[in-house]
Amino acid sequence: MTRVAILRYPGTWSERDFQHALSLVPGVESDILWHEDADLKGYDAAVVPGGFTYGDYVRAGAIAKLSPATRELRRFADAGKLVLGSCNGFQILCEAGLLPGALVRNRGLEFRCDWVHLRVERDDTPWTTGLRDAVLRMPIAHGEGCWVADDETLADVESRGQVVFRYTDERGGATAAANPNGSLANIAGVCNEGRNVVGLMPHPERCSEALLGGTDGYRVLANLAPALAGTAPALYR
Amino acid sequence: MIFVATIRVLPKSEVRDPQGEAVRGALRSLGLAVSEVRTGKEIVVTFEAADETAARDAVRVMGTELLANPVIEDYAYELKEGAPA
């Protein structure tokens, strides 16, 4: 059994969606942990869901990075455990320095609530095993999802293969028109150098069953159990 | 001692500021010859510190750990002794 901790900060709102989506993955059980007393001992993976923690005050994710849960998350990540951040969770991981770059106001100033396509750039993270070059369709819902970094960081992230997801058209072309928020190099998600921490702006938990209009999120989340057992995912390959 | 720090946070010059661009467009619509607008925020913090050196150290912690993200923002501050006016 893979045990997953789902962190809940004040203003987190996707934790129940994640718990439901993870309940569909065989061999995975999850708990929602309140940020003030989140103890990650005994867990294999942690999820930082979307929302508007602390009302996005100062910057999206800025106040959450100083929460006890984020300190615990840093220890957890340093120990090589798996961490996934989606939307506001991605913003928190970048603010905390667990992932490179930062997420700023969308280029067009619009809040984007839409379906997008993503090309999976790397299958050597535990969250994307077997998905190399897959084009996934996922929903986004964010106002501050424009990923930026200085030139040196961007070059490092590209050369070290830390770009995990890129916004593309449905055929996998990373065009300007397919970029919903102005992110540099169409970057939708990155990983750390250790590859155990992955963040992305789209919402895999909102497209994990056909009833919700898509199942590509499940293809990411289904990696959890088998990735930890060191085997290829059996489902939705 | 009581200190008041006025901390100003602005996006780094190489980071696009879409809010500033929108404000520039609106100011131009007033017929003004506005060439550039950068938007940020100002935060006024009243706090205690042993002396001015300790106060400046404290403001640096505020700036780098929370109020500005060094990846995208710069900050500057003014420090005064005493309660806010």
Q: Which domain CATH number covers A224?
A: 3.40.50.880
Shortest Cα–Cα distance, A139 to chain B (Å): 23
* Partner B contacted by A153 (CB < 8 A): yes
* Partner B contacted by A66 (CB < 8 A): yes
Decide if A188 contacts A165 (C-beta within 8 A).
Answer: yes
Residue A80 lies in a domain: yes
Domain residue spans of chain B:
2-15+41-81
Residues of chain B with pLDDT under 50: none
Residue A237 lies in a domain: no
| Exposure string for B68-85, b = 16+ CB within 10 A, e = fewer | bbebbbebebebeeeeee
Give Cβ neighbours of residue B35 (< 8 Å, ≥ 6 apart). Answer: B24
Please name the helix (run of DSSP H) or strand (run of DSSP E) that holds residue A88, with its range, or none: helix A88-95
Range of the domain at A158: 2-229
Q: What is the pLDDT of residues A194-231, one digit of tens each?
A: 999 999 999 999 999 999 999 999 999 999 876 544 44
* Total tally of structural domains belonging to chain A: 1
| Exposure string for A207-225, b = 16+ CB within 10 A, e = fewer | bbeeebebbbbbbbbbbbb
| pLDDT of A117 above 50 | yes
Q: Which class would CATH give B2-15+41-81?
A: alpha beta
Find the largest Cα–Cα distance for chain B.
Answer: 51
Q: Which pair of structure tokens corresponds to residue A187?
A: 């970057």
Decide if A24 contacts A208 (C-beta within 8 A).
Answer: yes
Q: What is the pLDDT of residues A45-97, one digit of tens each?
A: 999 999 999 999 999 999 999 999 999 999 999 999 999 999 999 999 999 99
* Partner B contacted by A189 (CB < 8 A): no
Residue A108 lies in a domain: yes
Size of interface A-B (CB pairs under 8 A): 37
Residue A50 lies in a domain: yes
Residue A234 lies in a domain: no
